[in-house]
Structure 1
Amino acid sequence: MYAQADGPTLGTQKSESGIRHSFLVTGSITAIIGEDNRVQWQVPGRSRDGFVLPNGNVLVSIENSAREYTRDGELVFQYKLDPVNKELGTVVRLQGGNTMVVERGAKPRILEITPAGEIAVDVPLQPDTNNAHMQTRMARKLPNGDYLVPHLLGFAVKQYDPQGNVKRTIKTDLAELGGRAEENWPFTAILLKSNNILVNLTHGNKTVEFDPTGKVVWRVDNSHVAGRFDDPCGAQRLGNGNTVICSYHQQAPDKPRAFEITREKQVVWEFLSPSVSLHEIHVLTTNGKSIIASSRK
C-alpha cells in the first residue's frame, strides 16, 4: 500500500492541452494512479471491473470475487464466486447499497448482494455460448430496474428485466460495422444521459454509440486514431462529452494503454505504460477537479 508521496511512478501521461487525470486501473494491476503518475493505492492481484466509491473505498472484481477495500487496504466487503460457475466479472455498487455482480459458467446470472453478503436478487441470463469466459462482459443496471448485458459471441447487448426476460437487443454485427467477420464483440454497455448506449467492440477495434433503437449514431476506429485501438475493453464517458478508452492488448511502445478522444475524434490525452494492461478505468479527477459525478462508465 502506498501513500501518494511514497508510491512509485507508473507510466506517463501525454496531452498537448495539459490534461492530467487520476484514475483507478484494473487489469494486470489493481491501482489508483495520481495526476503526477505516482501510485496512490494498490492491492495485489489481477482484476476485471472496478469503481472508486463516494466514501473513497475501492470496489473491484478480483480473483473471482467482489471486494471492497479501504484506502488503507482493509477488506470490508467480499462476495466469492459460487462454485457452480467459472468466473466473476462485473462488480457495481448500486444506489440502495447492494452490490451487483455477474457470474459466468453453468449458471450465468446477475446477482445483487446485500451488505451482509446475502443474495437479494438472482437474474438468469441467456448467453449464446457455454464457453464461460465468452458469455458476458461489463453489465450495468438501468434506472428502471432492468439490466444491460454485453454478450460477446451473441454480438449483442441485451436488456433484461428482473425476471431474466430479454426486452431489447442491440446488435453489434451490423454490416456498416463490418459484420461478424470483424469480431465486433461487445464489452461495455454504458447508458448515457442521452439514453444512447456506449459500446466498446473488442476484437472489432472500435467504439460505437447506439441510439435506443440500435442505430449507430457515432463511431471511432483505428482509421481515426492512428492505430491506438487494440482490443478496447473498458470505457468512460466524461462529463465534457469526451470518451476514455482502454486498449487492453496494446503492445506497441509508442501507443497508449488508455486514451481520451473528443466527439470530433481528436485524441487529447494518453496514458502510456509498457508494463500495464488496462481492462477497465475509472477516471477520478482532471487537473485537480473531481469528475466522478458527471461521468458514466
Structure 2
Amino acid sequence: MTDYKKIRMIVHLVVALTVYGATMAYSQSNQATIPITHSFFIAGPDFTGIISEAGQEIWKAEKAGARDGYVLPNGHILICWGDEVKEFDHDKKVIFTFKKSAPENELGTAVRLENGYTLITESGKNPRLMEVDQHGNIATSIVLQPETDNIHMQTRMARKLSNGNYLVPHLLAFSVKEYTPTGQVVKVFKTDLPELGGRAAENWPFTAIRLSNGKTLVTLTHGNKVVELNRKGKVVWKMSNDDLAEKPFADPCGAQRLPNGNTVIASYGAQEGIKLFEVNSKKEMVWKYNGHRVHDFQVLSTNGIPLSGIPLK
C-alpha cells in the first residue's frame, strides 16, 4: 500500500469517527429532551383501571374505589377493594375472589406471590395478614399488631420480602413492622422521629417498600413526605413539598421505585392538579399526571418499553 493510500484511509477513518461522534452526541442530546411517558394501572376512588402512555383509558374495572392491585405477568389484573379481592383474566372473567369475613372489616392488600397464593390483609377486631390459595382457602394467617382499634387506620399495603418475612405499615402505631411467618415482630421502623417532626406531624406510614440495597422506602400520608430509612431506621433520604415548587405532596399513599432509580408517588389527597408524579434522586420532578385521583398504582411501561421484573411498589 502506498503512502498516499495510507493517508487517505486515515483521513476517511478520522472523518467517519468524527461524524459518528457528532451523531451520537446529537442523539443523546435529543434523548435527554424526549418527554417521559408512562402507562400505568390505577387503584383510585373514581377510576380503577389502566391508562395508556397517550393518556387514554384502555381498561376499566367494574367499580372504582380500589385500594391495591397489580397487573400480573400473565396479563391478568388483581385488585383489592375494601370488601373483596378479585382477579380478572384477559376476557374480564373473574377467576379468583376473596371477601372480607365481617361487615365492619376492611381489606387492604392484594399481592400475587411466587407460590401462587395471594397476600391479603384484613383489618378489624382481629387484624390479620393471610396467604390465600386460588380456591379462596386461607393457607397462612398471621396476627397483626397495629396498636389501635380504629379499623380504617390499622394497616395498609403489606408486602412479602425475599427472606420470607412480611413488611407491614401501621398508621397510628407510627411504625412499619417486619413480621416473620410465625407472627414475630423482628424489626420496627418508626416514623414519629424527631427529625421528621414527631407525632404532631402525623407521619402515618402507608406504603413501605424494601429496596434492593436494604433500605426501606416509606410514604408518610398526613406528613406529606416520602423517606428512605436504612437498616437501623435512620432517615437517609427525604422529600416533601419543601423540595418542589409545585408542592405536589397531598396525602401521599402509593409509591413505586423504578428500575432507573426514580420514585413515582401518588398524591391521593389532591382534588385538582398533580395526582401522580416522578422524581429523581436529585429531587427533581421529571414526570406528572393530572388525571384521575390515585390511591395506589403500578407503572407498566416507560416510553413504549415495558418494565421488567417484580415492581417495587
Q: Which residue of 2 aligns with 1:191?
A: 210
Deviations 1:193-226 (A, max 9, x none): 1111110000000000111110111110001123
Aligned pairs for 1:138-217 within 5 A: 138-217=157-236
AA aligned to 1:147 is Y
Q: Work out which of the two has the higher radius of gyration on C-alpha atoms and give 1 or 2.
A: 2
Q: Which residue of 1 aligns with 2:18?
A: none
AA aligned to 1:181 is A
Q: Is the 8 A contact 1:111 1:119 kept in 2?
A: yes
What stretches of structure 1 move > 3 A for 4+ residues in a row? none
Report whether the alignment pairs 1:68 with 2:87.
yes
Deviations 1:24-55 (A, max 9, x none): 00011111000011111111221000110000
Aligned pairs for 1:107-118 within 5 A: 107-118=126-137
- What RMSD, in angstroms, separates the aligned Cα atoms of the two structures? 1.4
Deviations 1:48-74 (A, max 9, x none): 001100000100102411110123211
Residue ranges of structure 1 left out of the alignment (5+ in a row): 1-14
- What's the TM-score once normalised by structure 1's chain length? 0.91
Cα distance in 2, alignment partners of residues 89 and 294 from structure 1: 20
Report whether the alignment pairs 1:32 with 2:50.
yes
User: Partner of 2:206: helix, strand, or coil?
Assistant: coil
Cα distance in 2, alignment partners of residues 233 and 72 from structure 1: 30
Flag the structure with higher helix content. 2
Q: Is the 8 A contact 1:244 1:259 kept in 2?
A: yes
The percent identity for this pair of structures is 49
Q: Which residue of 1 aligns with 2:280?
A: 262
Q: Is the 8 A contact 2:156 2:207 kept in 1?
A: yes
Between 1 and 2, higher relative CO (CA 8 Å, sep ≥ 6) is seen in: 1
- What's the TM-score once normalised by structure 2's chain length? 0.87
Residue ranges of structure 2 left out of the alignment (5+ in a row): 1-31
Cα distance in 2, alignment partners of residues 292 and 151 from structure 1: 29
Q: Is the 8 A contact 1:16 1:268 kept in 2?
A: no
User: Partner of 1:54: helix, strand, or coil?
Assistant: coil
Cα distance in 2, alignment partners of residues 17 and 107 from structure 1: 51
Report whether the alignment pairs 1:230 with 2:246.
no
Report whether the alignment pairs 1:290 with 2:306.
yes
AA aligned to 2:258 is L
Q: Is the 8 A contact 2:264 2:276 kept in 1?
A: yes
Task: Select the residue among 71, 86, 96 that pairs with 1:52.
Answer: 71
Flag the structure with higher strand content. 1
Q: Is the 8 A contact 1:85 1:108 kept in 2?
A: no
* Offset, 1:230: 0.2
User: Partner of 2:95: helix, strand, or coil?
Assistant: strand
Number of aligned positions between the proteins? 279
Deviations 1:70-111 (A, max 9, x none): 232111111111127510001100001000000000110000
